[in-house]
Amino acid sequence: MMTKIRAAITGVHGYLPEYILTNEELSKMVDTTDEWIMKMIGIKERRILKGEGKGTSDLGAAAVKGLLERHIPHQKKLIF
């Protein structure tokens, strides 16, 4: 007989890169307009992670750090 696993999500957190690429900026790079992007895709801006060697793991690490800082406030220093 299998034992029931009991777990609960007690906290969530996220992270967004600081750099924001707007439709206006994008329209200067490629042949498009803010109106077309809004009509076809429905977004005004997107967040871009900048920096040599940066990747999705950096986004995850920043989110985890924020989660721990929020839910373990007595922790003075987190090492990442």
Q: Return the structure tokens found at 32.
A: 């498009």
- On the question of pLDDT at 2 being above 70, the answer is yes
Q: What is the pTM of this model?
A: 0.67
Give me the pLDDT at residue 49, please. 96
Give the residue with greater pLDDT, 37 vs 7.
37
pLDDT category, 5, cuts 50, 70, 90?
confident
Better-scored residue on pLDDT, 43 or 75: 43
